[in-house]
Amino acid sequence: MTSTTAFTLTRQSPHFGAHVTGIDLSSVDTSTAAEIRAALLEHKVLFFTDQSLDAERHIEFANYFGETTSSHPVMPALDSEHPQIWEIDSTDPTARNDAWHTDVTFVARPPMGAVLRAVQVPDVGGDTLWADLEQAYWSLSKPVRDLVDQLDAEHDGSHEFGDYLAQYGGNDWDGATVKRLDPVVHPVVRVHPETGRPALFVSPWFTKRIIGVSEAESRGILDLLFAHLTKPEHIVRHRWQQGDVAMWDNRNTMHYATLNYGDFHRVMHRVTIAGDVPIGIGR
């Protein structure tokens, strides 16, 4: 356990996942936000328990860390007063995130991070898991790291969100209204823009193929990486309590919302923070 002036931090592993206590997220100031940002850079996903944010305070908190985006490039917002909130409600069968993914990597500038609040927690089930893509990079053997350092991959959200785009029309994203979901290319290994540390930047939901290699080679490389990313050593798991807030760095993590709560009601609110164009190693 280490202490800072503003809160107490308890690690879940040396460099991934930490519980933050002794802080009220509804009354954060600039200097506390700077300490939270430093903790996020170090631990990649932070869990804040005993919180009671409302929609306004949730957005206000996220705004300390950068420009907040619309709810999602495609999925509608909670309501017109809260265009930044994406509500994920289990009574809506489209609101599922039971696949490993880094958020919104199918656009040129994926989010830097997100703040997720548990609004309605199921009696049982519905945990969320995160994977450390920086640790997953370093736990590859050197020859495989050398290979993936050079690669780029295509990310495509059209299979998942194309129908919703047709149904709802797109939201504003990165200064323009989303009208199409064309695939984008990102480096397979991304250098973190703040820490300079490399991390894998592929995930099963949206990364579709490796560029410049055969289809069989692409499949083989992605299968190898996808199996590697989810080794238990790379994972933290959160059992939600009502009001809990999780904040993650979306530049070196991916996550998975388990769909194992039967008919219990589960509602989450996400506010997303805008990010940069991913840059590869030595580019």
Ligand X SMILES: O=C(O)CCC(=O)C(=O)O
Q: Using CB under 5 A as the criterion, which residues of the chain lie in contact with Fe ion when the complex forms?
A: 97, 103
The pairing of beta strand 45-48 with beta strand 18-21: parallel
- The two tokens of residue 130 are 């995160």
Residue 236 has what DSSP assignment? E
* Alpha-carbon gap, residue 97 to 77, rounded angstroms: 17
Out of 63, 97, 120, 139, which residue is the one contacting ligand X (CB under 6 A)?
97
Q: What H or E segment, with its residue span, contains residue 207? A: strand 207-210
Is there binding between residue 120 and ligand X (CB under 6 A)? Answer: no
- Residue of 101, 117, 186, 251 marked active site: 101
> Rule CB under 6 A: which of 175-234 touch ligand X?
none
Pick from 16, 61, 66, 58: which is nearest to 41 by CA? Answer: 16
Q: Answer with the entry of ligand X, Fe ion, none that 257 interacts with (C-beta below 5 to 8 A by kind).
A: ligand X
270 binds ligand X (CB under 6 A): yes
Told to check if 133 binds ligand X by CB under 6 A, we report no
Q: Is 270 a catalytic residue?
A: yes
268 forms part of the interface with ligand X (CB under 6 A): yes
Q: Would you give the DSSP letter of residue 55?
A: H
Active-site residue identified among 43, 209, 255, 269: 255
Q: Are 253 and 228 in contact (CB under 8 A)?
A: no
Among 43, 72, 103, 251, which one carries the catalytic annotation? 103
* 60 secondary structure, DSSP code: H
Active site includes 103?
yes
With CB under 5 to 8 Å by kind, the binding choice for 116 among ligand X, Fe ion, none is ligand X
Asked if 35 contacts 6 with a C-beta cutoff of 8 angstroms, the reply is: yes
Q: How far apart are CA 118 and CA 246, in angstroms?
A: 9
103 is a site residue for ligand X (CB under 6 A): yes
Looking at the DSSP bridge assignments, the partners of residue 200 are 189
Q: Give the one entry of ligand X, Fe ion, none that residue 270 binds, where binding means its C-beta sits below a cut-off of 5 to 8 angstroms depending on kind.
A: ligand X
| Beta carbon nearer to Fe ion, 9 or 247 | 247
* Residue 271 sits in the site that holds ligand X (CB under 6 A): no
User: Looking at the annotation, which residues are catalytic?
Assistant: 101, 103, 255, 270
Q: Contact positions toward ligand X, by CB under 6 A?
A: 88, 97, 103, 114, 116, 128, 255, 257, 268, 270
